[in-house]
């Protein structure tokens, strides 16, 4: 503050010849205007620098976001999972939503550049402000010259009182006083022009800066609203899919093995005409169940790990037929292993 006052000027003649109330008020107002417009100019410059930095950072974020879009789209189109395509669909939805968000970010950055940074930069560098400041500086120089002239008049008045009646000194004093009046008159006119110009610039700074700040806030607000709508839609889609999966019954794991050959048991004898085409070998042998099997139909045989089975037929579709514990039926061939003999303690389990 003191540096500005010193630069702008201040003070009056020692004898008060230069000081009058109207000029003092004008000088004080111009000094305040100079300080106010200078602070507003710096604030506008700070906004421009901040917005420009935000644009640079935002542009890098757009690049990163677009790369993430590409990765999500690539996974969604090129990858599938045996348990379903839920993640692939989610990746594609995410990529689409992120792409829209990055487009909104690009629009925001453009708006900040054209609606905020450029108008403020134009005013900071514009002619109205510089012209008004030049008028104020000219007024300051003229005022300093008038102050010096007022001191000169005061000195000549003192000399004339000491040497009364000196015509040459009287003429010099009159010339100095005339020059002082001219300076004060010109200074008054220039001061009014400078005050008017600085007042207009101050009003323009206040109005334009507020407008651009509002534009900045509105641009960001609209951006975040559109992004939020996009995210809400994406979240609803993903949550709905998750709920569908979590609420669905567990998937039925279909056996890759075909059903056992159809047959009809009559007194322990199976109809040859229904299984003849499927039987690969007809050979009796002893086998042990290496894992349990639960029958899913009346034609199948329940097995417990460790059971001994008399195998009577082996089909070429992965099923075998045999007898265990007095019951006969079909069972997966991979559930048994062939044995050469049976333990004595297990004989009762076979028949």
Q: What is the pLDDT of residues 21-52, one digit of tens each?
A: 888 888 889 889 989 999 999 999 999 999 99
Q: For the chain, percent helix, then strand, then coil, each to nearest 5?
A: 65, 10, 20
The pLDDT value given to residue 119: 95
Closest C-alpha to 11, from 195, 138, 140: 140
pLDDT number for residue 130: 86
Q: Which residues lie below 8 Å from residue 115, measured CB to CB, with a gap of 6+?
A: 212, 215, 216, 219
Please tell me the distance from the alpha carbon of residue 91 to that of residue 69, in angstroms, as a whole number: 9
Which residue stretches of the chain have pLDDT < 50? 1-17, 251-255, 263-279
Q: What is the pLDDT of residue 253?
A: 46
Q: Give residue 143's pLDDT.
A: 87
DSSP 300: B
Structure tokens at 119: 């108008």
Cα angle for residues 57, 63, 66 (degrees, 5° grid)? 135
Please, is 263 exposed, middle or buried when counting C-beta atoms within 10 Å of its C-beta (0-12, 13-18, 19+)?
buried
pTM for the full model?
0.58
Q: What is the pairing mode between strands 279-281 and 308-315?
A: antiparallel
Sign, Cα dihedral of 138, 143, 146, 152 = negative
- Written as six digits, the tokens of 186 are 């010109």
Question: For the chain, how many residues are written?
Answer: 351
pLDDT at 274: 42
pLDDT the model gives residue 157: 85
Which pLDDT score is estimated for 297? 85
């Amino acid at each position: 503050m003191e540096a500005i006052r010193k630069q702008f000027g201040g003070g009056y003649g020692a004898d008060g010849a230069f000081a009058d109330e109207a000029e003092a008020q004008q000088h004080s107002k111009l000094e305040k205007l100079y300080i106010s417009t200078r602070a507003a100019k710096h604030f506008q410059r700070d906004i421009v620098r901040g917005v420009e930095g935000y644009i640079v950072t935002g542009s890098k974020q757009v690049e990163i976001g677009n790369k993430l879009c590409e990765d999500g789209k690539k996974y969604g189109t090129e990858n599938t999972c045996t348990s379903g395509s839920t993640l692939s669909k989610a990746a594609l939805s995410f990529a689409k939503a992120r792409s829209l968000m990055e487009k909104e970010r690009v629009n925001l950055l453009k708006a900040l550049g054209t609606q905020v940074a450029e108008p403020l930069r134009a005013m900071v560098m514009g002619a109205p402000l510089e012209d008004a400041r030049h008028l104020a500086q000219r007024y300051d120089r003229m005022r300093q010259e008038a102050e010096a002239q007022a001191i000169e008049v005061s000195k000549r008045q003192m000399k004339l009182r000491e040497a009364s009646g000196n015509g040459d000194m009287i003429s010099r004093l009159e010339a100095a006083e005339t020059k002082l009046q001219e300076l004060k008159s010109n200074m008054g006119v220039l001061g009014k022009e400078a005050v008017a110009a600085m007042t207009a610039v101050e009003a323009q700074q206040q109005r334009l800066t507020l407008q651009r700040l509002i534009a900045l806030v509105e641009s960001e607000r609209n951006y975040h609203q559109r992004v939020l709508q996009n995210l809400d839609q994406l979240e609803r889609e993903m949550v709905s899919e998750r709920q569908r999966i979590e609420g669905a019954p567990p998937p039925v794991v279909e056996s890759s093995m075909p059903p056992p050959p159809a047959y009809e048991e009559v007194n322990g004898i199976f109809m040859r005409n229904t299984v003849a085409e499927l039987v690969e070998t007809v050979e009796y042998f002893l086998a042990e169940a290496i894992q349990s099997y639960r029958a899913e139909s009346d034609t199948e045989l329940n097995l417990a790990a460790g059971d001994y089975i008399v195998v009577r037929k082996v089909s070429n579709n992965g099923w075998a037929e045999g007898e265990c514990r007095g019951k006969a039926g079909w069972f997966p061939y991979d559930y048994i292993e062939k044995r050469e003999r049976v333990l004595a303690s297990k004989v009762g389990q076979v028949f």
